[in-house]
Amino acid sequence: MATNPVENVSKTPLTLLGLGAMGAALAEAWLAAGHPLTVWNRTAARAEGLAARGAAVAATVAEAVAANRLVVVCLLDDDSVQEALDGVDLTGKDLVNLVTSTPGKARARAAWAERRGARYLDGGIMAVPPMIGVPAAGAYVFYSGSAELFEEHEGVLAAPADTRYVGADAGFAALHDVALLSGMYGMFAGIAHAFALIRGESVAPSELAPLLGGWLAAMSGSVAKTAQQLESGDYALDVVSNLAMQVAGKGTLLGTAEEQGVSAELLLPYFRLMERRLEIGGGEEDLTGVVDLLRR
Ligand code: NDP
C-alpha cells in the first residue's frame, strides 16, 4: 500500500517549550493534527490539560529537548529563551524559535544555537491565539534561517498556521513581523484619534466604525503604490494627492482637533515629516519621501 506523505508528516514528533497563551494554542493544534507532542512549561500546572489530551509532559527543559529532534520555543522573550536553554545540550537539534524578537537578537540567537550544534529557524507569528489551528482565520508565521530545517519540517510547522519562509538570514522573520506590526500601530494611532474626535458628540462609535474601517481599507491601496515609487525612485509617479496639497490640509486637521478638545500628539509627528519633505522640494511628490527622512 502506498504511504500517504501527509499522514507521515502528521506523525512527526516534536517538543514545545512554553505554554502561555500562544504556546497552549500551538500545542492544541499539534495534538489535534496527530503529532506526538512533548511539552515543558516553567509553571507545570499549565501542562495538565494537555497531558489529559495526550501530550507527554517533561519535568525539565533538558528532558523535553532530549525527547525530540524538532524543538519549538514559544516563551515570553529572548531573555527567557536564554534562561530556559542555558546549558541544555542542543547537539543535533532542530530549534524553531517563535519568540517575537528584533532582527539583531534573532541573528545572535541563530549564531548561539549553531555554536551549540543545532540547526536554527526563527519565526514571527502573525496571529493571535484564537486564530491558531483555524485554517480559515488567515494566520501565518514568517520563518527565516536554515532552509534545510524549514523544508524538512514544513508540514509539521504548517499544522497550527500557514508558513512563509522569507530567507536564510535568521533576522528576516523578525524584520517582516515588526514591519507589519509597525504599520499596524500607525493605523491604531489614526483610529484612536478618529474616535477621540467624535467622543462627546452625538455620533456613536458604532456608527463611525464601519465608515472608518471602510475608509482605511480603501486607503490601504497606498501600500502598493509606495512600494512602486520606492523601487522606481520616482516619488511623483502616479500621484493623486500631492504632498503640497496634503500639507495645506494640516490646518483643517489640527483645527478640528482643537475644536473637539483633542490632543494632536499622534498626528503632529507625521505632519512635521511631511513639512520637512515639502521644505526640500517634494511638493509634487506623494508621501513616499517620508520613508527617506526616517532612515538614520
Ligand atoms: P504569555 O505571557 O501568555 O506566556 C509566556 C510564556 O513564557 C509562559 O509559558 C511563561 O511561563 C514563559 N516564561 C516567561 N518567562 C520565562 C522564563 N524566564 N523562563 C521560562 N519560561 C518563561 O505569552 P504568549 O504565549 O502570548 O507569547 C509567547 C510568545 O509568542 C511571545 O514572544 C509573543 O510575543 C509571541 N506572540 C504572541 C502573540 C499573542 O497574541 N499572544 C501573538 C504573536 C506572537 P509561565 O507559565 O511559567 O509563566
19 lines ligand 1 (CB under 6 A): yes
78 lines ligand 1 (CB under 6 A): no
Task: Please give the number of the atom of ligand 1 that sits closest to the Cα of 128.
Answer: 40
Do 151 and 256 belong together in one domain?
no
How far apart, in Å, are the Cα atoms of 277 and each of 80, 93, 182, 189, 294?
Answer: 42, 50, 21, 22, 11
CATH number at 80 reads 3.40.50.720
Across 91-103, average pLDDT: 97
Do 227 and 166 belong together in one domain?
no
* Cβ atoms of 133 and 28 closer than 8 Å: yes
Residues 186/189/190/193 CA torsion (nearest 10 deg): -170
pLDDT (tens digit per residue) in 8-53: 445 899 999 999 999 999 999 999 999 999 999 999 999 999 999 9
Retrieve residue 228's grid coordinates. 512602486
* Cβ atoms of 148 and 123 closer than 8 Å: no
Number of domains in the chain: 2
- Percent of the chain, pLDDT > 70? 97
125 lines ligand 1 (CB under 6 A): yes
User: What confidence score (pLDDT) does residue 2 get?
Assistant: 38
* Cβ atoms of 164 and 141 closer than 8 Å: yes
Within 68-223, strands assigned E span 70-73, 94-97, 119-126, 140-145, 162-165
47 lines ligand 1 (CB under 6 A): no
pTM reported for the whole predicted model = 0.93
Give the closest residue (by CA) to ligand 1 atom 41.
22
Tell me the best of 22, 82, 125 to mutate to test the pocket of ligand 1, counting ligand atoms within 8 Å of each CB and taking the most: 22
Answer yes or no: is 278 within a domain.
Answer: yes
Q: Is 220 helix (H, G, I), strand (E, B) or coil?
A: coil
18 lines ligand 1 (CB under 6 A): yes
83 lines ligand 1 (CB under 6 A): yes
Structural domain ending residue among the three candidates 148, 175, 202: 175
Among 239, 216, 221, 217, smallest CA distance to 288 is for 239
pLDDT (tens digit per residue) in 142-194: 999 999 999 999 999 999 999 999 999 999 999 999 999 999 999 999 999 99
| Domain span holding position 153 | 14-175
Answer yes or no: is 246 within a domain.
Answer: yes
What is the DSSP annotation of 116-150? TT-EEEEEEEES-GGGTT-GGG--EEEEEE-HHHH
Answer yes or no: is 166 within a domain.
Answer: yes
Give the closest residue (by CA) to ligand 1 atom 8.
20
